[in-house]
Structure 1
Amino acid sequence: MTTSEGNPIDEPRSSAAALSRLAPQRLRRLGRKPIWKGWRFPSFWWLVTAFWLFIALASAVEMSVLQSAALKQALVDGLVRLLPWVFLTPLIVWTASAYTLERSTWKRSLGVHLALCILSLGLVGVCAYLSPPRLPLNSPDVSGTRREKLEPKAMAFVVLRRITFQFPLFWGVVGAAHALRFYERAKTQERRKLELESHLAEARLLALRMQLNPHFLFNTLNSIASLVHDEPAQAEAMIEALSEILRLSLNASARQEVTLREELHFLDRFLFIEQTRFGDRFRVEKEIDPAALGVMVPILILQPLVENAAKHGIESQIGPGWIRIVAAPAGDQLRLEVSDNGRGLTKRPAGPLTEGVGLSNTRARLKELYGGQATLQLRPGLAGGFSTELRIPWRLTPKTSVVSQTELVA
């Protein structure tokens, strides 16, 4: 007898169950355009320009307050000093992305960055020499209306001071570029991990479904073979029903969930085959709440339960039997129950009850899809036989467990 003790489905050890709910959203979020590659786009240039304009304005306000310089002149001075950084920043970001300071390449990369640093500060020095020098702190002329040209030594001192002050700016940009680069790398690795785990969960579910199909086909083909000579018309009808089942199965091969209405339509083909096998001995009763017809259920979830009930509730007894299929809301869950009036257990088993292929695959599929949100219980029926009840989350929209490559790079 294929039975279980009716324990709730355990939380999966891996994150596969949660991925079927969370992976698509996280993968789409992680698949956005990398930040460190954004220097190629106008938005990045606007951001860089706005950043350095802000620095220039802050520097001008500082000069105006601390050195009593004219704000207009101080702003012009700051713009001229920081204008090179508007063009240098994208170059520094690109260099940082191409020559990262990592353990295996840090020597070569450091040399490249030092060379770029020298060139950058040289350009800053030229701009400092060509721009009007800022007023000395103790200059008697603090009105900003007249600025005398400094002596060569004083000019050299001003240029050197500006280069020295802006040296940390270069390495600050390098550090920020590396931080963005490493952040994007970690995000890419997480995206790949989620993608692999999502495909792994999909493969597990597909493998479980493929285990059910041969099991069902084997039983059906045996039944057809037994009818070919004595009841050719019934055998032909069973073959047509089987072909319809295979067609529906192939059409839904890319889906893990269907509506209960679709699942019941699929199940009707299987019930027709079973009724052909057992004739008047087989009766089916359905109690389906109309509100439940649009709820999403795992595809082919009822077929192994009905097959199990037919095998142990109808086939094992001489007289007529029935199978009852119930679908109804149960709080925030959908309750599906398949019961029969078979003989059930004639005596208490000595050891723990075991599960056959159908129930064990059903349990594994529920575990992969819903984790601890689904339960599967098997208990003695009120009218004899057994009752198999499963509960799954009440949801009217399907979940997507595989994200296309277009979504990943969009």
Structure 2
Amino acid sequence: MAKGERNAHAARAERLQNATGALSTAAITAMDEKLPWFGKLSAQDRSWIGLVAQSGITAFVDWFRDPEAHSSMPTRMFGSAPREFTRVISLHQTVDLVRTTIEMIENTIGDLLPPADVPVVREAMQRYAREVAFAAATVYAQAAEMRGAWDARLEALVVDSVIRGEADESVRSRASALGWTGTAVSGAGGSSEVAVVVGRAQPAESGTANVADAVRHAAREAGADALCAMQGDRLVVVLGGTSKPVEIVQKLERWFGPGPIVVGPVVPDLMAAVTSARAAVAGLRAAPAWPGAPRPVQADELLPERSLSGDGHARRQLATEVYGPLTMGDGVLLDTVAAYLDSGGSIEATARVMFIHPNTVRYRLKRVGDLTGYAPGNPRDAFTLRVALALGRLLNPEPGAHVL
């Protein structure tokens, strides 16, 4: 650029500098008149937005004076705004703000600058506006990334509190901040029941970095609420708003790694989710003892394996809910099922041992199934009954004693 041209450009920049006050005032007036949402903001928020607009006009003047020396000015213009700026107005509203400011400058500079300056300034403004648009997109992208990282940490904290049995009102509040309602997304029935699901995580090399997002989305598609966290090689999902978690998990199965997926029992709400979590974690630990287990499998279906692996809750549950009902009355049901199991599952052999008719054995075994939920004629149920009898005898050695 020749010396004369440089002098002319400097003079033009100086005239533009002198007009910044009028341009800033006109920008705020234009926002108030053309943007309905602007007038609904608080005085503090409007002040911050006005400061950003004024900063942008000043930055444009500096950039106009020497574009090469101030190449980063469009990006820096948002530096005067607080971090909450991206929460006050949306990206769409920011675009409206920039557009309104640019239109105002184009319509106003004719009254503030000599006619010869107007085409040059307008052309520069168009170039500058493009850079500002990219800068705004960058600011919102960075804010979304930071918010996503914070939400992921908060979600992991909530799930960890559930697993460790530390769920309280603060955990409920944090879950709510993540969008957790605990009720059916579809609104059907208004269920608020919760179940915890535990399985192996996908291998790191599988390329499924956004498993948590995918699980939440798939759960919502299935009509349930979800919180999700990776804990080492374990994927933990807290499902809410469904009384049939197994059906939901069947739609989430692809996001788990190889191996069993254990669904804890349904509990009333998030505050009681530790019960479901404890059963699910114990079930995952004991699942290898049942190679033929379905996927997903309910934790209560793994009661015998859990009790053998040292789960005291499973032992007490078998002794209380399976052995206990069989001891009621004169104890003939307990004697009958014990004789049946010891006879290799033969009704005739059981009848001979007990000196009763085979039909009596059949009737009593049906009563056992009705009382406990386990049919002695089913091999899997027979195994559960055998373990329950052994545990019941260990915990209650005295005949007719109260079941612990």
TM-score (norm 2): 0.27
Tell which has more relative contact order, 1 or 2 (C-alpha 8 A, sep 6+): 1
Structure with higher strand content: 1
